[in-house]
């Protein structure tokens, strides 16, 4: 029996595999392109040349020595991609400080040449990514950045409003994995802020607007547009990520006035890095902010001691129509935290009362720098799940074992009225030791049973933090599983005084 080789695979299977190869390439290395595939062997070349989808990603400047190649092959990419939508990447890499100024200045006309051709294909653009690679100290041709902005905005075609009929995604991505010096960043972003190349574009189907890893001092220009200029943006999804070091009050405050005026916004994702300091300014000016159209809200605030910011967001912002709530908190070791961890986390989670329409709630809490031999901390948290009457699915991933306490227990009120769970259908837990969750699990399950929702309950999914195996217990097996694991005590309500509140 002859063993099949990769080149002998059917055309359709090879073409499908090639489409995903570039996505699997490590971002630290040069991306795998259709050119690499086409130069592998004759069979690969035949398949690649007859697969237009492989040639739809138009990249920019990459590492040294690749600039001329990009310009040389640009026409070939545009021709081979035929009439398919394009993913355009405006990739500007800073030149190392040891490189000559001649090398840096040579990149300016190359960059201008690449995108003066791309702008002629604006009607085919499906996405555009403005990617900046920062290195340790650099000589960057900043005059070329402004030139590209002008080229993309007006080029040689006057000042008329451009139309990008197929553009769905705009992304600004700042790669600061290698820390650049402050002087370089300040000088570079001063140029980048002056670029609003899509300001005069008409984008009728724009869906996503993403800004990734923006430095704390960088106030993204679109946040400062007047209302009449914001009218050209009707995107439905916004993703914002701010990196470490310094105050984020001013740029986030800019976003508040920008984002809440967008009636089309349905998905909001915010991420903040280590040591971002919100300051009291944000707490005052962010009070009562309401995003009326947002249906999904994702907040990631990882490895940070300033959890007060997340508390302010959940306590002061309103999402009356949100059906999906995703909260991810990275918590430093207990001894390093500012303030009372239990109090802060409890207040954050308690503010989900501002999300009455939530159907899916994802809660992730991780602790860092914990020795493997040390037990995960147990945290008691007020969890007012009864304030989410429409909740259908609850997913919890935690490197700490939380003892969940459902609001204040009143012995004069029937439990069924205090803990209603009429619509909960699935609960998923990934925790160090599920035995610390027995009381809360028992309470939830007993309420589901009282509400006669047993037949709709899909089940309970449990897995340990250090294991891949997952235990799934169907709804009709819950009671037997509880008895087998001695969870009977879990049916008793949990009182706060029991945990020293």
Three-state helix/strand/coil letters over 23-81:
HHCCCCCCCCCHHHHHCCCHHHHHHHHCCHHHHCEECCCCCCCCHHHHHHHHHHHHHHC
Sign of torsion over alpha carbons 201, 204, 205, 210: positive
Q: What tens digit of pLDDT does each residue of 96-113 get?
A: 444 444 444 444 455 556
As a whole number, mean pLDDT of residues 478-483 equals 66
Residue 368 within a domain: yes
Q: Which of helix, strand or coil describes residue 366?
A: strand
To which residue do tokens 């100290």 refer?
A: 137
Q: What tens digit of pLDDT does each residue of 362-419 get?
A: 877 776 555 454 555 555 555 556 667 777 787 877 766 555 544 444 445 444 444 4
Residue 464 within a domain: yes
Tell me what the pLDDT averaged over the chain comes to. Answer: 63
Residue 434 within a domain: yes
Bigger pLDDT: 273 or 83? 83
For a pLDDT cut of 90, what percent of the chain falls above it?
Answer: 0
Q: Among the listed ranges 38-47, 62-71, 161-170, 248-257, which one has the minimum average pLDDT value?
A: 62-71
Q: Sorting pLDDT into bands at 50, 70 and 90, what band is 139?
A: very low
pLDDT above 70 (res 124) = yes
The most confident of 29-38, 322-331, 363-372, 405-414, by mean pLDDT:
322-331
CA 329, CA 310: separation in Å to the nearest integer?
9
As a whole number, mean pLDDT of residues 146-153 equals 47
Residues 126 and 168: beta-carbon distance below 8 Å:
yes
Q: Compute CA distances 236 → 204, 208, 210, 290, whole Å.
A: 12, 6, 11, 16
Mapped to the 3 state alphabet, what secondary structure does 79-126 carry?
Answer: HHCCCCCEEEEEEEECEECCCCHHHHHHHHHHHHHHHHHHHHHHHHEE
CA 117, CA 74: separation in Å to the nearest integer?
8
Tally helices (H) and strands (E) across the chain. 15, 22
pLDDT above 70 (res 211) = yes
Residue 425 within a domain: yes
- Helix 101-118 to helix 142-153 angle (10° resolution) is 10
In sequence order, what are the beta bridge partners of 380? 403
Q: Sorting pLDDT into bands at 50, 70 and 90, what band is 36?
A: confident
As a whole number, mean pLDDT of residues 490-496 equals 35
CA 210, CA 267: separation in Å to the nearest integer?
11
- Supply the DSSP symbol for 303: S
Residue 442 within a domain: yes
Q: Among the listed ranges 64-68, 126-130, 455-459, which one has the minimum average pLDDT value?
A: 64-68
Displacement of CA 119 from its chain's centroid (Å): 29
Residue 482 within a domain: yes
To which residue do tokens 């999300």 refer?
A: 355
Instruction: Name residues whose C-beta falls within 8 Å of residue 28's C-beta, 6 or more positions apart in sequence.
Output: 177
Residues 121 and 78: beta-carbon distance below 8 Å:
yes
Residue 416 within a domain: yes
Angle formed at CA 107 by CA 106 and CA 113, multiple of 5 degrees: 105
Output the pTM of the full model. 0.72
Phi/psi for 68 (5° steps) reads -65, -35
- Supply the DSSP symbol for 6: G
CA 171, CA 194: separation in Å to the nearest integer?
17
Which range marks the domain in which residue 464 is found?
360-501
Instruction: Name residues whose C-beta falls within 8 Å of residue 372's C-beta, 6 or more positions apart in sequence.
Output: none
Residue 439 within a domain: yes
What is the number of domains present in the chain?
1
């Amino acid at each position: 029996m002859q063993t099949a080789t990769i080149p002998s695979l059917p055309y359709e299977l090879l073409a499908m595999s090639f489409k995903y190869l570039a996505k699997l390439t490590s971002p630290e290395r040069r991306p795998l392109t259709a050119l690499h595939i086409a130069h592998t062997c004759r069979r690969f070349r035949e398949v690649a040349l007859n697969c237009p989808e492989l040639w739809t990603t138009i990249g920019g400047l990459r590492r040294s020595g690749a600039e001329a190649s990009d310009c040389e092959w640009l026409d070939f990419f545009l021709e081979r991609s035929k009439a398919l939508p394009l993913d355009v990447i405006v990739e500007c890499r800073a030149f190392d400080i040891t490189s000559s100024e001649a090398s840096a200045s040579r990149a300016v006309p190359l960059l201008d040449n690449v995108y003066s051709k791309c702008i002629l294909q604006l009607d085919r653009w499906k996405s555009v990514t403005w990617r900046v690679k920062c290195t340790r100290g650099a000589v960057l041709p900043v005059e070329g950045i402004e030139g590209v902005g002008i080229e993309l905005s007006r080029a040689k075609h006057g000042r008329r409003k451009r139309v990008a009929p197929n553009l769905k995604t705009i992304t600004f991505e700042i790669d600061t994995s290698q820390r650049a010096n402050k002087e370089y960043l300040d000088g570079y972003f001063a140029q980048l802020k002056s670029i609003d190349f899509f300001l005069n574009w008409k984008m009728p189907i724009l869906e996503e607007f993403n800004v990734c890893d923006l430095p704390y001092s960088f106030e993204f220009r679109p946040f400062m547009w007047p209302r009449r200029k914001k009218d050209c943006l009707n995107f439905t999804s916004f993703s914002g990520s701010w990196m470490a070091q310094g105050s984020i009050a001013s740029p986030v405050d800019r976003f508040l006035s920008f984002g809440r005026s967008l009636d089309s916004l349905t998905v909001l994702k915010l991420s903040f890095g280590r040591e971002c300091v919100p300051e009291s300014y944000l707490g005052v000016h962010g009070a009562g902010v309401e995003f009326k159209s947002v249906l999904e809200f994702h907040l990631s605030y990882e490895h940070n001691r300033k959890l007060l910011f997340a508390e302010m967001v959940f306590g002061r912002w309103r999402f009356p129509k949100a059906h999906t709530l995703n909260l991810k908190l990275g918590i430093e070791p207990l001894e390093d935290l500012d303030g009372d961890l239990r109090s802060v986390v409890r207040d954050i989670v308690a503010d989900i009362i501002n999300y009455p329409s939530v159907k899916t709630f994802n809660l992730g809490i991780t602790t860092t720098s914990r020795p493997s031999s040390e037990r995960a901390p147990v945290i008691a948290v007020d969890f007012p799940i009864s304030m989410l009457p429409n909740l259908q699915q609850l997913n919890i991933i935690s490197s700490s074992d939380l003892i969940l306490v459902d609001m204040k227990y009143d012995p004069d009120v029937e439990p069924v009225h205090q803990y209603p769970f009429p619509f909960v259908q699935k609960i998923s837990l990934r925790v160090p030791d599920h035995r610390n969750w027995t009381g809360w699990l028992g309470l939830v399950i007993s309420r589901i049973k009282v509400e006669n929702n047993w037949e709709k309950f899909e089940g309970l999914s449990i897995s340990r933090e250090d294991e891949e195996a997952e235990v799934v217990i169907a709804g009709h097996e819950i009671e037997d599983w509880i008895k087998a694991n001695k969870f009977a005590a879990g049916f008793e309500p949990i009182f706060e005084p029991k945990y020293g509140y």
